[in-house]
C-alpha cells in the first residue's frame, strides 16, 4: 500500500520520456531519499521554468525572454537562418558553437502518414522571414529521414521566390564512424559527395 501522494508522483514521473511505471517508482524513491538536495529544488525549478518560459515570436524557440536570447543578440549574423525541426535540434546546433546566425523552429516535419501538412508548421512564417533583404542563406538542418528530406525539398520550393540560397547539412560518414558499420545509403552518399583531401 503506497501513499496516494507517492502514487500520484509516480504516475506523473512515468509520463517523462524514457520512463515507465517501474523506472518511475525508482525515480520517486530516489527523489524521496534526496528530499532536500533534489526533490525540492526540482519542484521549484519546474515551477519557475513553467512560469517564465515563453515561445519566441520570431524563431519559436523557448526562452525566459521574448524575443529569445538568440534573436535578441545583435552580434549574430543577420544573413543566415538555420531551419530546425524542434528546439532540441536548435540546442544541439547551438552547442557546437559553429553557427552564429539565427534560427527558425518548424515544430515538426511534413508527414503524409501522421497527417502533418505545411499549414501545421511555421513554414509561411519562415518564408516571410526569409524575404527580409538582409537574409541571404537558409540552412536546412533537418533529419536525414524520409520526412526530413521531403520537408527540406518542400522548403526549397517554398523559398524559390525569396532571394536566398537554400543549403542543407552535408551527409556522410559521421566523425568516428567505422566504414564497415555504415549502411549502404550513407556510404553511397559519402562516396558521391567525396572531397579532395
Residues of the shown chain interacting with a second copy in the complex, contacts defined by CB under 8 A: 1-6, 8-9, 12-13, 15-19, 23, 25-32, 34-35, 38-50, 52-53, 62-65, 69-70, 73, 86-88, 91, 94
Rounded least distance, CB 161 to a second copy, Å: 32
Rounded least distance, CB 109 to a second copy, Å: 16
Looking at the Cβ atoms of 63 and 190, the one nearer to a second copy is 63
Looking at the Cβ atoms of 5 and 184, the one nearer to a second copy is 5
Looking at the Cβ atoms of 34 and 128, the one nearer to a second copy is 34
Rounded least distance, CB 100 to a second copy, Å: 11
- Listed residue (88, 166, 169) closest to 127, CA to CA: 166
Looking at the Cβ atoms of 55 and 154, the one nearer to a second copy is 55
Q: What's the Cα-to-Cα distance from 8 to each of 12, 41, 121, 191, rounded to whole Å?
A: 6, 19, 35, 54
Rounded least distance, CB 180 to a second copy, Å: 26
Amino acid at each position: 500500500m503506497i501513499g496516494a501522494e507517492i502514487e500520484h508522483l509516480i504516475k506523473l514521473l512515468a509520463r517523462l520520456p524514457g520512463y515507465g511505471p517501474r523506472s518511475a517508482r525508482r525515480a520517486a524513491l530516489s527523489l524521496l531519499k534526496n528530499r532536500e538536495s533534489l526533490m525540492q529544488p526540482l519542484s521549484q525549478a519546474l515551477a519557475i521554468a513553467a512560469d517564465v518560459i515563453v515561445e519566441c515570436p520570431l524563431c519559436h524557440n523557448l526562452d525566459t525572454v521574448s524575443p529569445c536570447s538568440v534573436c535578441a543578440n545583435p552580434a549574430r549574423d543577420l544573413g543566415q537562418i538555420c531551419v530546425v525541426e524542434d528546439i532540441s535540434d536548435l540546442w544541439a546546433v547551438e552547442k557546437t558553437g559553429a553557427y552564429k546566425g539565427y534560427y527558425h523552429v518548424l515544430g515538426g516535419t511534413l508527414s503524409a502518414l501522421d497527417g502533418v501538412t505545411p499549414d501545421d508548421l511555421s513554414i509561411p512564417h519562415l518564408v516571410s522571414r526569409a524575404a527580409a533583404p538582409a537574409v541571404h542563406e537558409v540552412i536546412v538542418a533537418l533529419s536525414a529521414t524520409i520526412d526530413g528530406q521531403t520537408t527540406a525539398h518542400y522548403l526549397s520550393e517554398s523559398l524559390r521566390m525569396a532571394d536566398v540560397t537554400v543549403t542543407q547539412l552535408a551527409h556522410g560518414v559521421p566523425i568516428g564512424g567505422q566504414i564497415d558499420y555504415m549502411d549502404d545509403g550513407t556510404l553511397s552518399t559519402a562516396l558521391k559527395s567525396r572531397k579532395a583531401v
